[in-house]
Chains A and B, each alone.
Chain A
Amino acid sequence: MMNQVGDGGGEPGAASDSNSGLNHVVDVGQGHASLYPSTSGQQSWPSSTGPTVSWNFYRTNSGLTESGTPSSSGYHYGQGEMAGSGNAQGGVNSASHASASTNVVAATATQQYAGYTPYPSATTPYGYSNTQYQSYYYGYQQPDNDSSSQQVGANQNSGAAYQPLSSFQNSAGSYVHPTSYLGTYYNTGDHQTTAGYENSNYNYQTNWWNNGNCGSYPPHLYPSYTSSDTNSTQSSSAVSTNSLPYQQQYNQWTYYYSQSAPVVSCAPRTENTSLTIGCSVEGGSGGYPYPSNQPPPPGTTSWRKDTGSSGLPSLQEKKDVTAYPSNGSGGVGAPTFQNHHINQMPLYFQKPTDSTPLPHENHEDQQKLLYSQSPRLPLSSTNHVPENSQSPFQAIPVSETRRVSKLQIPTNPRIASNLAVGMPKIDKESSTTNAALKPAYISVSVPKPNIKSSSQDDAEAIIKGTFPPSLRAYVERTFSRCKDDAQRSANQKMMKEVITKASADATLFTRNWDIEPLFPLPSTSLDMVEQNNLQSSVPISSLRRRNKSRWEPVAEENLVDKQPSITSDSVNVASWDHFEGTGRAAESKKYESKEGGCNGVRLFSSPQQTLLSKFAQRPVKKPRLGDFPNAIENGDGSSDSDKEQDLTKYYSSAIALANSPEEKRRREHRSRRFEKVQGNQVESKCHGPNIAGPGSIYTRRASAMILAKNLEDGCSRAVEDIDWDALTVKGTCQEIEKRYLRLTSAPDPATVRTEEVLEKALQMVQTSRKGYSYKCDQLKSIRQDLTVQRIRNVLTVKVYETHARLALEAGDLPEFNQCQSQLKRLYAEGIEGCHMEFSAYNLLCAILHSNSKRDLLSSMTRLSNEAKDDEAVKHALAVRSAVSSGNYVQFFRLYKAAPNLNTCLMDLFVEKMRFEAVKCMSKSYRPTVPVAYIARVLRFSRAVSSENCEDKGKDGLVECEEWLRAHGAILTIDNNGELQLDSKVSSSSLYIPEPEAAVAHGDASLAVDDFLTRAL
């Protein structure tokens, strides 16, 4: 921890420098400098970007800024030492600080904000920044953070939410910060203007904290704590900020603090209470309080792990103190709170990302901070602007109010979600709800950091080298859960076991680590760990996952990519980008636009954004990984997930068959294929599947998809098909009769008939005397059973042939076409059947139904010599010839002599052919054509040659007469009393009547009456 802190300190300095540079630039643009030269720049940042921006700047600025840097740095160190607790508090504080910083900024806090921002740079940074800010507010903010996370309480929601994020991240660093912050807070509280300076100091500290914290603590803390805490805090803070005025904001801060404890609700509204609450919160945060407060547990664990539990308490205390101070400054602080809130919003988003980075490494942490900062920056910018303009506290409030209103609006959406979640939250609930919102951020960041920071080095090395990213995320997650060294070591062991098992199983790469409960191995151990951490980690993670998926996908990606480049400055930038990407940016922009003073912020924001984007990307990804597992655990799975689970049950047996390593590998590969394509979809699904557990295919797939998504490595696994063989159902049903029902889920073996039964069923259908609709229904169910069992043999061909013939007889062309296309495939596989008969049908179809000569040509080209000798095929070819030449005599002769069911297909063409024929006759014959001749040539009577020739001939005559009249022909009776077609007159009067049976949709079989009878 110490080392980290030290590093952090070093890094912060750098960060601050860079930030300061940025700030200065910003300042120049904004002209904020007027109030506070150094700060002004910072202020401008904040103003433009809103709190978040300001935060980042603050950090840097703070460093730069005369005032606080030194002191803050000192704080930082102290905080760093405070380590876990300090950080945690700091995190909380940082959140609050952030808000405070924003406030300060508003006042003149910009500098402070800048300092804060640096904090944000790492996720911890937020915490730091928050803490710093909080230092003014810190107390407030920190409490908020802690409380918010814990309380989730609406109070914190708005402001807290942001802060919480920061706090979470910060939590590691924040704890330390809190102490410093406390000091600052006091100062701030006392002197808001000074506070700005102080803030700057704080910021520095926060930065330091961030660095240190980020490196070690943040990850752990974040994972577990952040998830729940951050979420809760974020949501709560956001909410509260939105709803509450400045005072409210203050309250919120307090709330946050208070939130940490149940008190939150009370605290939020009353400033005093809030302060007190803040204290309480801080206590909670001190718990990092989480332990004490619900959020604390996870947080505490993480904190403790990272920084050591001992450190945390002190930090907490400090935080508490800070919180009080903040109360003192409350009046002034309120505005800041608002700002903070705004900032917080961004921070949250960022934080998640940040949190992820933190776990990884210091750099990552920094990145995270940056991320977090970036969000803050935008927020702060808005805040700052007003603040800057108003330099004094009073002024700040005004601006803040404005800002707040504006900010609130933007934040509201986020908050709203958070609030909804967070409101209910007391400790756990709130945390969970919050977590849901924040989860993505937190979870991601946390798991990774934890892993890396803790024992993880070994694990990390291994993982990084050869393990899939998802697995790494896993490891990180597990570690993040660990509260102390003992847990870590235990966790490590567990991890090793799991990994070795997985590698032995060959599931190492196939498994959906993201989905895996914090490590399958650990199931017990994990549970233990989880328990220790308190559900927070899991729930949080789940929440986080959700949040991420909904909110942060873009941002996460960005974060991941950019993380490597993490400098505090760069981090800040990244955060900007993230914000923008996530929509926070948009919010920040809105804020800016709303606030007149924001212009400067905007300027800053753009560069920052670019930087931030880089950093932000990495964090995002990590968070996701963590989130996924959590999501799984949550079991929030949608209905889909439930379904999937069901399915998994179905398949579980089948899967069991193929659980050998090779199989698994194959499946993994296959599932990976889908990952890229379905990545997004998978995410949503994953939540459900996770519950199902590693065994289910769905989970695997989902996990695989997640992995694919998450894995930047782009470890493109060979795509393989799902092992459908293993999924093939073996029917057990013995019922011969079965109604057809289109499957909407995986088939139940109990309702699928065996092949023998299906054979009997086919016979039953063939000998049945019932109507076509019944037979069709039965055949379809037989086909379905064959399909789900993947039976493709002579029986299959028989079934399809039977159905095709029945369909032809009934004139059910759609069904016939289905069967025909299946038969084509079956014949192509070399399965015996009435190939010739059906190629004749195919030919007839091509002639009769398609206008494409090419289709016809290609079917003709494909005919083998053997086929051309076949009676049915010959007939079909002759029909084709008759049709193409319009030779109706030939056609109806062929119609009469058609083998098999060729007649049925020709039926479909008869009407057209007759009409053409009559048209032709009426044009070429003069003066008349005997109807008897027409009836004979066009086969209006069925049996010309039979004994009943005359009767039928007469029947045909009548039929023909009716037909002719129906088609507009003019008939006359000649001297002999014979009916004649007056060709000359008719040639111009022929028409094709509207078919009476026509249905609007063109398919008579879909007619309502028919449908109803079928349904019966």
Chain B
Amino acid sequence: MALHLSMGEAHRRIAEYLARFSDAVSSQDGSALKSLIFVSSNSFYLLALADALNVFQDSSRLVNQTDKYSQLGEILIPYFRCLQSIRIGRFVDAYVAFEKAANAFLQEFRNWETGWAMEAMHTVALEIRVLAERADRELASSGKNPEKLQGAGSFLMKVFGALAGKGPKRVGALYVTCQLFKIYFKLGTVHLCRSVIRSIETARIFDFEEFPTRDKVTYMYYTGRLEVFNENFLAADQKLMYALMHCNPRSKDNIRMILKYLIPVKLSIGILPKMELLEKYNLPEYMDVVNALKRGDLRLLRGALRDYEDRFLRSGVYLVLEKLELQVYQRLVKKIYIIQKQKDPSKAHQVKLEVIVKALKWLEMDMDVDEVECIMAILIYKNLIKGYFAHKSKVVVLSKQDPFPRLNGKPVNS
């Protein structure tokens, strides 16, 4: 296509773009401006512009020719270079150019008193992250140190700084925060989130509810994940539930992402999902886990953890799921208790250790008496079983009232 592009046509396209860009700025048309810098939208218009730029190499002269364009030259010239680089697939170059343009844009944005260009600013924040990721992939494939995403992170911190203060631009701060979360989670530098979160959550001047829903959901999703890392299940539950409740029901992917963390959290506090939910959102890895909890099947749980170990490790829920073991033991003892009760209600509250050991053997769990005794002690200790353990007789003596208290939304004592 570029080959067929005449110089004149290229010139015309660039000139038109410049005019539109300049008009958008002068008329403070945020959405028009956004569409002009929405690189990853792959709009035909921008693609055509990129082609034109590759044909018409001296675009910076065009920019500098006219006063009203040259004022925006700091943005436009590197932006053009970025477009060109993207078009020819050189994302590192594109990122570098885009960062320049973004910095210039941020400079301008700071000077605009209102947040009319918020959409565009957000687009810049998005683009710089996406471009950085692509640039890092390019760098990694050529054996270099992928560092662009980090650079994008520090740029976004600047943007955040420009937005997070008082004033009309604050509404846009949460979006940038979310982009930052994405970067930090990707880089594994989650600890950097804390400062951003603090400034979002401690600011009294701005009610969290005033942020756009989209941003609130994303924010809650990420902060919920952070709480999962910290095994702070109640807070995680609350945040992830918020995200789930406010998430657009039609965006199934987003819901699935939330559920991936919400389900382990809910399991940890004793709430099991319905199988339909797991099926609907395609979360098969949790099915065995849920079944194990229902049945007290330790083997099933361990099998699920083994089978999906990589996935669970990567998403960071492995350790959470592993802790479900105690609940599985509890379920197992409860089952034995129920069976004993059916046989002889008067002696049901005394569960012999050897019975449990035998039950575990059936599950192909080879554990000796000491170990099982230890686990019973822990179950009692953690209040999953009410009662006591008589060492001499090797018997778990269950309380006659509610021997297996439900978690009911509370995490296991630990």
Task: Using CB atoms and an 8 Å cutoff, list the residues of chain A in contact with chain B.
Answer: 853-854, 856-858, 860-861, 881, 884-890, 919-921, 923-926, 928-930, 933, 937
Contacts and interface: CB of A to CB of B under 8 A. Distances in A.
Contacts of A857: 229, 313, 316, 318-319
Given A920-B381, A928-B391, A890 B313 contact: no
Interface in B162-204: 188, 190
Contact of A924 (B230, B318, B325, B388): B388
A143 B284 CA distance: 99
A886 B322 CA distance: 12
Contact of A853 (B230, B380, B390): B230
Dominant SS among interface residues on chain A: helix
B351 interface: no
Given A853-B229, A854-B190, A861-B314, A887 B374 contact: yes
A920 B377 contact: yes
B378 A930 contact: no
Given A920-B381, A925-B388, A926-B390, A937 B323 contact: no
Nearest to A856: B319
A882 to B, nearest CB: 10
B171 to A, nearest CB: 31
A921 B322 CA distance: 23
Nearest to B310: A861
A885 B325 contact: yes
Given A853-B229, A853-B319, A924 B380 contact: yes
A933 to B, nearest CB: 6
Given A888-B374, A921-B377, A924-B380, A853 B389 contact: no
Closest 7 pairs (CB-CB, A-B) = A924-B380, A926-B388, A889-B374, A924-B377, A920-B381, A861-B313, A889-B371
A933 B190 contact: no
16 contacts: A853-B230, A857-B313, A857-B318, A861-B313, A861-B314, A884-B319, A885-B322, A885-B325, A886-B378, A886-B381, A886-B382, A889-B373, A921-B377, A924-B377, A930-B391, A933-B391
Contact of A854 (B229, B322, B390): B229
A923 B231 contact: no
B188 A884 contact: no
Nearest to B376: A924
A889 B326 contact: no
Given A853-B230, A920-B377, A884 B391 contact: no
Interface residues of B, number: 32
Given A885-B378, A886-B378, A924-B388, A937 B370 contact: yes
A854 B316 contact: yes
Given A854-B190, A857-B316, A923-B381, A889 B370 contact: yes
Contacts of B325: 885
A920 B229 contact: no
A881 B313 contact: no
B188 A858 contact: yes
B228 to A, nearest CB: 9
B368 to A, nearest CB: 9
B375 interface: yes
Contacts of A930: 391
A886 B374 CA distance: 9
Contacts of B231: 853
Contacts of B389: 924-926
Contacts of A860: 313, 318
Contacts of A853: 229-231, 316, 319
Given A854-B190, A889-B371, A924-B381, 15 more contacts: A853-B230, A854-B229, A857-B229, A857-B316, A857-B318, A858-B188, A886-B382, A888-B374, A889-B374, A919-B381, A921-B377, A925-B377, A925-B389, A929-B391, A937-B370
Given A861-B314, A924-B389, A925-B388, A887 B378 contact: yes
Given A860-B313, A889-B374, A925 B322 contact: no
Contacts of A856: 319
Contacts of A926: 388-390, 397
Contacts of A921: 377
Nearest to A920: B381
Nearest to B379: A924
Interface string B314-350: 1010110011011000000000000000000000000
A884 B322 contact: yes
B188 A937 contact: no
A884 B326 CA distance: 11
A713 to B, nearest CB: 22
A592 B377 CA distance: 86
Contacts of B414: 886
A881 B322 contact: yes
B185 to A, nearest CB: 11
Nearest to B319: A853
B292 to A, nearest CB: 15
Nearest to A936: B370
A890 B380 contact: no
Nearest to B414: A886
Given A881-B322, A885-B325, A925 B391 contact: yes
B375 to A, nearest CB: 7
B15 to A, nearest CB: 34
Contacts of B379: 924
A878 to B, nearest CB: 12
Contacts of B316: 853-854, 857
Given A924-B388, A929-B391, A887 B322 contact: no
Contacts of A919: 381
A983 to B, nearest CB: 8
Contacts of A885: 322-323, 325-326, 378
Interface in B226-245: 229-231
A924 B385 CA distance: 10
A326 B397 CA distance: 116
Nearest to B368: A889
